[in-house]
Structure 1
Amino acid sequence: MLEKVGEFMGKLAKLVTAGAMVLFIMLSGCETGQENTERSAMISSNEPTLQAAGNEIVPARSIVVGFSQLGSESDWRRANTRSIQEAAKETGIQLILENAEQSQEKQFEAIRAFVKQKVDVIAIAPVVEKGWEPILREVKQVGIPVIITDRLVEVSDPSLYVSYIGSDFYEEGRMAGKYVMDKLLHAEGPIGIVELKGTEGSTPSLSRGKGFHDVIKQNPNLQVVESEYANFTVEQGNKVMRELLERRSKEIRVLFAHNDDMALGAIEAIEAYGLKPGKDIVIVSVDGTRKAFERMVAGNINSVVECNPLLGPYLMQAVKEMLDGRTLPKRIVTPERIFTEVTAHNELNNRMY
């Protein structure tokens, strides 16, 4: 390839007078990703583009993105991570990924490591909303732009990050609430609802809960009798639902789970208790994973609100546009829908996660 570049430059040199033109030629290639097992970092990279500087071909530095992922607590999160890795590889962006394992402190450590490595952009999927202002000010001082993904951060200065890419969690909660309102419109009250919330202090848990409650309060027959945190996991969904059934089994007619994994765990608990999920207890969840759709087809879940984890293409496109000098919207919201047991069968094969 370099011989072809030399021949091409020789031909151009014959067409112009010496010193009349500065020539830049860009070529690109690919190399495989590398894995840093000591720090659980997963790296996707492409070979740097070649640039012509005078008569010498030198490698140009590729874009480097440091991404702090909050964990791997669910099928949704694992799909989110894969999407970001694959999009980085496809776009030729070098990705340094750190899994914080649900620890904000580990996220701070990863971000400071990214600063030392002088990455071009830092992307963060924050564990919780609060506590980010000091670390984001550190990053701003060194001039590295920050993009927030999936979950929001609560800061007094919005200039501490460039853009947020993710879902409208409040609207997801509203969609779940509307489904319950319509499903039980003519049912006799009171109708007891239990709510399985995710990580305490996280954006999805706060906003989905608010959206749901804002809708169902329009019908006084709908009453949330218990609302408990289950950390977005199957195991905690099962455990907390068992406890709720022991206390409230005669009252519970609806379960609203803030994600599919908690709903799947709760279904196991409901079945073990001798009740029929989807019939004895109406179940509404959020995410839209294949496992949840399979449960909808089986009649165990009544409705699932989609929460799109495939944010990789959006993130990498935003990185490239930002570094090209374009202005990004402060909020980039991904399109999402609600599915029911009636439509689940047709959509099942389209699930990518």
Structure 2
Amino acid sequence: MTSATVLVTGAAGFIGSHVAARLADLGHAVIACDNFNDYYSPALKHDRVAALLAPRGLTCETVELSDGEQVRALFERCRPTHVVHLAAQAGVRYSLSNPQAYVQSNLVAFSHILETCRREQVSHLVYASSSSVYGASTDTPFSEDARTDAPVSLYAATKKSNELMAYCYSHLYGFPASGLRFFTVYGPWGRPDMAYFSFTEKMLRGEKIPVFAGGELHRDFTYIDDIVEGVVRLLFAPPSAGENRAPHEVFNIGNHQPVRVLDFIRTLEKVLEVQAQIDFLPMQAGDVPATFADTGRLQASVGFAPDTPLATGLERFRDWYLGWHGR
């Protein structure tokens, strides 16, 4: 594999920091950027940079991607051959009360990324989509060819919009782009707003954990190293154009083993050696009953599909969390 110059956006985030580190380990020139917003503690983002990027000689520029001039200036300085666009406003429930943040970070910023990639003739754009695009579908496992035109949150709507925007640019201008539908990513250096992280914090403090819909929701928990492996493999396997076909593709990256939330909690109890105190709550607006990835397309394209067992991944998260929290 020849060395590439890769721009990783959202590089102080959970997935972005791991992807940037992995690409650097593989010998690629990595340009990292983030806006370090306060959706959750910026201190954790700076800790990721210090732990995962700095030891590899990487810095993380502060760039606001919703500002087109900043995006153009970034590309002119760095001249990336490849782009991994992971910056976004995350979170389903937050989108109910802060919709404008999603418009700016997920739509306006993405339009700037697309236009600049087109102008600079980037070899391949890989961007984060989400399993949320499948909405409340019960037709499982979720296939990339399934209908995704009924989102149940603004977050999901913006991610589906990203796929449509990228397809249009690929069709019109012929540059390769791949959208990655991530499924419930977890692991060391994760996001505090995710259930596995917040449950761990509360359980270790002896507090009740909020569990929605009787704990009967199912989630396809996918370990961070598996996500990174999929991202990196796909980055260097761009889709090709064909007759009446744009060089654009979407891929599920999930563990293909959905777990009932109550069973997830039982596994977390064993890992932490703490019994959970549960506060059962009604299903929340924007939530979906299940996520379940069909990973056949990923396997066929790059010979890989996630398979880290939940207990193994949670043990690794526990070890990181106890070390980070007790530092």
Which structure features the higher share of helix residues? 2
TM-score of the pair, normalised by structure 2: 0.42
Which structure features the higher share of strand residues? 1
Larger radius of gyration: 1
TM-score of the pair, normalised by structure 1: 0.40
